[in-house]
Amino acid sequence: MAEEVFQPLPTVPDHPALEEEVLERWEREGTFEKLRERNRGGPRFSFFDGPVTANKAMGVHTAWGRTLKDLFQRYKALRGFDQRYQNGFDCQGLWIEVGVEHDLGLNSKREIEDFGLEEFARKCRDVVVWSSQELTRASKRLGQWMDWGNDYFTFSDTNIEYVWRMLKRVHERGWLYMGHRSTEWCPRCGTSISQHELAMSGVYQDRADPSLFVRLPLVDRRGESLVIWTTTPWTLPANVAAAVNPGADYGRRASGEWVAAARYPDETFEETLRGSELVGWRYQGPFDTLPPGAGVEHRVVEWDEVSLEEGTGVVHIAPGCGGEDFELGRREGLPILMPVDEAGHFFDDYGWLHGLSTIESADQIVGDLRERGLLVAAGLYEHRYPHCWRCDTPLIFRIADDWFISVRDLRQPMLEANATVEWTPEYMGKRMDDWLRNMGDWNISRRRYYGLPLPFYPCACGHLNVIGSKAELEDRALGGLDQLEELRRPWIDRVPVRCEQCGEPVERVTEVGDVWLDAGIVPFSTLGWQSTESIPEGYATGAARGLTHADLPDHAYWEKWFPADWVSEMREQIRLWFYSQLFMSVVLTGKAPFKKVLGYEKMLDENGREMHGSWGNMITADEAFSRMGADVMRWQYSAQPLDRNLLFGFGPAQEIKRELLTLWNSVSFFVSYANIAAFRPSWSELEPAGDLEPLDRWLVERTHAFVADATASYERYHAYEVIALYEAYVDDLSNWYIRRTRRRFWDGDEIALRVLWYGLVQALRVVSPVMPFLTDHLWRNLVLDGPESVHLAPWPEVAEPDRLYLDEIADLRRVVTLAHQARATSGLKLRQPLRRLVVEGAPSVEAHAAELASEVRVKEVVFGPVEAELRVKPNLPALGPRLGRELGAVQRALRAGEFEELGGGRFRAAGHDLEPADVLVERAGRDGSAVATLDGVTVALDTTLDDELRSEGRVYDLIRTVQTLRKERGLELTDRIVLTVPAEDAQLVERHGDWIKDEVLAREIRIGAALAIEKAA
């Protein structure tokens, strides 16, 4: 036995174990550092990492995005691009603080303030510290190569200062204002929620709310009333008006109740009036029994938006509790009643309701209406209702004073900037356009604690001071600087500044900023926009001190790396991070901050359900690492078409593991025979040259095609195409090249070994960005004198393949598949040799008749017409809609055999041309033949058996049995044997002895009592 150059492979790979080993080696050998060193100074590929919220351990959802980011960065690195690799953590805002509140058992803003804001801020930072370490560990385990340790943290003073600078500019342009308006409000968090936050997944949930029909007696029409409908009982005490559609008809029931006639088509009415005629009618409010309602004159107003699709067509209007109501109220000059406080509890002047929450009050309100005879009907109403994205509390509408950035002057420039961006998939770019066309002003203020402090100092003199940097703050501060640990509450609240207008001291507003400000500024804050000098570790400021070594570069660096060539996040981020980045970039530069975007849809469990901790179908990243391995996870993520939800789970992972065995087994096959032949391939002679047989030439061309096609798919950011191309390639390599070349490997044919080695090595290189572990593991085994890691080898050269030749073999493989189908219908085993195959309609295969014969195991292949009866049936789903009433005639003609064959699978019947997709074609063979047909190619297999064929069939059976015995006995591939066959097979040995010996490596065949093998001496 020759020295084993290549390490023999176990039957199946242990992915997790192999990955840990590779990780350890990367670490030891500094593989990533070597890669970065090699590419330094090369062409640049700029990528901005969307910051992951640092409040949790890694989940399989997060690992999806991280995989795509890593995959394309690895691809670009193989192509020699210099990259930044900066990872980011999102560290402020509701995500963090609501989690901390929960952990501390606090449940209101009052309780947080009692707990102490300093200590609360420190607890929030602790969460970020823990989570950033966890996420880093798991990301490394996933194989993500980033510049760990030089991450950006959005709670650094540097990041905050950059947002301040942007806000100051917004103020200078006149776009910043304080708005008094109705807003979606979380009563638990005690803050408003902005329009784009409603786009986050999980915000809209199915919910059953009370459905109430309430009678409102009219003041000037005795015995008559309006009937309104509501699903939010708590808003009734704030009712000030009832709206009708001026163009619709309203009818009076016998009971005196007025409703829209169109809503009750089966009812007859005593009197009918146009909606416009009802306008101005006065009515008694539903809660005139309480002081606020008693002071209001309730009246009917007109509103074009009144829906005739639901309710009664008379709409209850409470401008203090609804966005549209507020706008209508403003137009009509209606009074505003605001019934609940920040926490959603009724104010004191609401009498017996005072202190109740919006939800608690529902039953009592319904009871009270019933008692007073105002309730017409009550039930439940199922609908999609928005909830707080952080704490899951149903949102309400409240009037609040919030800070807004006007989008009026920005909408058009943002649309123009987005038009320069290439979105994949394309429809996501359209979604962004839609959002930009419809977005309202950006509500940037939140009444919370652990967030970006808004640098707004409104003065009693009417002047709004906006601070643009820490230096400016220090310059204008009137005290409190000595205790300013971070630019954060509560410390910053203790730093008053001097009003630049009147010189009086002014205090900061207490609001913090929308968390999307923090993430949107990243293309500026991390790249040193307008920074006069490069400051080593200059990003490690404020709360980020001690967590990172990230530098603050200078403006020249920003010029180099802005805009990003590419960014990637899930679709939800269109209205979140992609939007906030675009917004801030258009404010600061007038340009889009990225050139290309890759988006993807949602992740569900493998049965298509959302994953929830409480449903037991949640998978942690650690569980997935240990049960499927990172490569298999990455495969599952990458194979996902971008426009569909990913169904992630262990079931699909099993499938992938099976799929990956084709490559594993092919490498294993190579290793076995290369070791036997003492074959030593050299990296310097990668591309096979010399005396290639046609099949060798085919694999080389097939490899060229795979490299070329996969490269094009990577360039399009279509990872799922790379996967599909890889699967087809490895199938060709294993199930065509290896199988058809098997005998040459037994003979230690060096050319065959060289060609196979080339095919395997190229496959590893192309798919290494997807599966960095398995490919590197196999690479180290296969490549003896090349780069020490597949990730340090450059991207394979893209050569133009001989497509004509490849198509020929692809046709040949299709004919083989058809022949196998025909054989399957006859019930004959694949091993059984047959006399003849007739092929019709595949002229390109004629040059490969011998290959075809051996592959299909027939003595002879004939190219010519197949004698078979042609049956053509209409494909109804395709043809029905197209032909309509003509279908019957076509159907009759086909059934009667009255049709003309046009070639290429097309037919003409009853005057209609039928395309291949329009018809189902069957060919029934004559006696003794099996027929199969597809896309204009037909094969007929002669299934008649004679003695010779039968006896050859038995030889194949015998060979297979012996091969199995060899395996069971653990014989080496090269071991010779002595074979004993039972007497009834003596005749087989007599006729085919040499053939059998050759196939099973037998020195000698003996006749004995039973089949047996023995290792030859």
Residues in contact with Zn ion by CB under 5 A are 186, 188-189, 388, 391, 393, 459, 461, 463, 499, 501-502
Q: How far is the CB of 124 from Zn ion (least distance, A)?
A: 16
Count the helix, strand and coil residues of the chain and give each as a percent rounded to the nearest 5: 45, 20, 35
The smaller minimum CB distance to Zn ion, of residues 79 and 463, is found at: 463
Phi, psi of 155 (to 5 degrees): -95, 10
Residue where the block lists tokens 């901050």 = 593
The smaller minimum CB distance to Zn ion, of residues 200 and 1012, is found at: 200
Phi, psi of 27 (to 5 degrees): -60, -50
The residue among 124, 547, 134, 556 whose CA lies nearest residue 539 is: 547
Q: How many CB atoms lie within 10 A of CB 476?
A: 17
The smaller minimum CB distance to Zn ion, of residues 84 and 188, is found at: 188
> Residue 901 corresponds to which amino acid?
E
The smaller minimum CB distance to Zn ion, of residues 463 and 831, is found at: 463
SS (H, E, C) 293-311: HHCCCEEEEECCCCCCCCC
Query: Would you say 605 and 433 are in contact if contact means Cβ atoms under 8 Å apart?
Result: no
The smaller minimum CB distance to Zn ion, of residues 501 and 987, is found at: 501
Residue where the block lists tokens 């001989």 = 802
Q: How far is the CB of 502 from Zn ion (least distance, A)?
A: 3
d(C-alpha 178, C-alpha 301), whole Å: 29
The smaller minimum CB distance to Zn ion, of residues 29 and 504, is found at: 504
The smaller minimum CB distance to Zn ion, of residues 388 and 764, is found at: 388
The smaller minimum CB distance to Zn ion, of residues 18 and 124, is found at: 124
Q: How far is the CB of 108 from Zn ion (least distance, A)?
A: 11
Strand bridging mode 564-570 / 594-600: parallel
Query: Would you say 638 and 766 are in contact if contact means Cβ atoms under 8 Å apart?
Result: no
Q: How far is the CB of 462 from Zn ion (least distance, A)?
A: 7
The residue among 919, 1001, 1016 whose CA lies nearest residue 963 is: 1001
Q: How far is the CB of 98 from Zn ion (least distance, A)?
A: 6
Query: Would you say 118 and 490 are in contact if contact means Cβ atoms under 8 Å apart?
Result: yes
The smaller minimum CB distance to Zn ion, of residues 472 and 486, is found at: 472
The smaller minimum CB distance to Zn ion, of residues 444 and 816, is found at: 444
The smaller minimum CB distance to Zn ion, of residues 459 and 492, is found at: 459
Q: How far is the CB of 193 from Zn ion (least distance, A)?
A: 8
| Number of residues written out for the chain | 1017
DSSP 926: P
- Going from the C-alpha of 817 to that of each of 553, 729, 771, 921, the distances in angstroms are 61, 17, 31, 17
Q: Which residues of 518-555 are buried (b: 16+ CB within 10 A; e: fewer)?
A: bbbbbbbbbbbbebeeebeebbbbbbbeebbebbbbbe
Phi-psi region of 856 (alpha: psi -120 to 50; beta: other; left: phi over 0): alpha
CA count, 13 A, side-chain hemisphere, 726 = 30
d(C-alpha 417, C-alpha 594), whole Å: 10
Helix, coil or strand: residue 160: helix
Q: How far is the CB of 160 from Zn ion (least distance, A)?
A: 23
The smaller minimum CB distance to Zn ion, of residues 123 and 448, is found at: 448
Q: How far is the CB of 358 from Zn ion (least distance, A)?
A: 14
Query: Would you say 644 and 727 are in contact if contact means Cβ atoms under 8 Å apart?
Result: no
Please report which helix (H) or strand (E) contains residue 651, including its range. Answer: helix 650-676
The smaller minimum CB distance to Zn ion, of residues 463 and 836, is found at: 463
Q: How far is the CB of 401 from Zn ion (least distance, A)?
A: 19
Q: How far is the CB of 40 from Zn ion (least distance, A)?
A: 47
- What residues contact 824, with CB distance under 8 A and at least 6 apart? none
Q: How far is the CB of 450 from Zn ion (least distance, A)?
A: 14
Q: How many CB atoms lie within 10 A of CB 66?
A: 25
Q: How far is the CB of 402 from Zn ion (least distance, A)?
A: 16
Peptide bond into 694 cis (omega under 30): no
Helix, coil or strand: residue 50: coil
Please, what is the end-to-end C-alpha distance for the chain in angstroms? 15
The smaller minimum CB distance to Zn ion, of residues 5 and 343, is found at: 343
